Amino acid sequence: MLVARSLTKEYPSGTSSLAVLKDVSFSVPQGAFLSIVGPSGSGKTTLLGLLAGLDTATRGTIELDGTDLGQLSEDQRAQLRGEKVGFIFQSFQLIPTLTAMENVQVPLELRGDRDAEERARALLERVGLGHRLDHFPTQLSGGEQQRVAIARAFSNRPRILFADEPTGNLDVTTGATIVALLEELNRESGSTVVIVTHDLALAQRAHRMIRLRDGVVVEDVATASAPVTGGAAAGGGVSAPGAQPGAAVTTPLPGTTATAGAPGASA
């Protein structure tokens, strides 16, 4: 369960300050598949950074599984990330000096797991890279790199996974397989997945979509991909049960979006 309450982030700008996020509140139940959309500069990445504990909010609180991130020190937040959080980045962010296998092992080794190697191997096989374990990032294609990144993100069995434009650096076909993979893993593992993107098509494949504009939530809706048994409501706080087998492997149907806000806010 991830809960954000009245999140505000301001950056000093000359003598005054610039608010990038303004009073943002919502909650995400365990296992949900959520997307955050908005144009450049709307505050998406800032919000992601705050939710993942990479940065601290100027005001407001974030609770991850009942832990108030604001109460933790930098290193305690790092430990929490190591235990409960997974990351996927637009530019993959694999460590260039490590092989695919070793990259996946890093989060496990950082927290002292003994079975790092087995698990890394299993995950890479799961993402279809069982034959490329000892390759370095530069020897892999973009799609392969992102699959390694996904394996790495899931290696520590995260309670929640954050993905920042995960398909941004990939072509359409590769992007689609990556999203499918994310969906599958979301279902299999029961991890919450939060995707930040300005790609509306991708956003639609999540079960729920939050739209930001100028640092304010302007829309919070269930998408067409949302499991039929679940309900969606604007205003936040509504849970969307995850781990529904077969709920979202297909391409979303354009035009069936239940939007409450302006449709013009596309990427």
Bridge partners, 193 (sequence order):
33, 161
Among 15, 97, 173, 229, binds other proteins (CB under 8 A): 97
Binding mask 238-257 for other proteins (x = CB under 8 A): --------------------
109 binds other proteins (CB under 8 A): yes
113 binds other proteins (CB under 8 A): yes
Q: Report, in Å, the least distance between residue 195 CB and other proteins.
A: 13
156 binds other proteins (CB under 8 A): yes
189 binds other proteins (CB under 8 A): no
89 binds other proteins (CB under 8 A): yes
Binding mask 126-155 for other proteins (x = CB under 8 A): --------------------------x---
Which residue number, 168 or 261, has a Cβ lying nearer to other proteins? Answer: 168
Which residue number, 42 or 223, has a Cβ lying nearer to other proteins? Answer: 42
Query: In the window 18-57, what residues touch other proteins (CB under 8 A)?
Result: 45, 48-49, 52, 54-55
Stretch near other proteins under the rule CB under 8 A, chosen from 15-23, 29-37, 111-119, 121-129: 111-119
CA distance linking residue 225 with residue 79, whole number of Å = 33
Which residue number, 139 or 251, has a Cβ lying nearer to other proteins? Answer: 139
Tally of CB atoms within 10 A around 204: 20
Chain contacts with other proteins (rule: CB under 8 A): 45, 48-49, 52, 54-55, 74-75, 78-83, 85, 87, 89, 91, 93-99, 102, 106-107, 109-113, 152, 156, 164
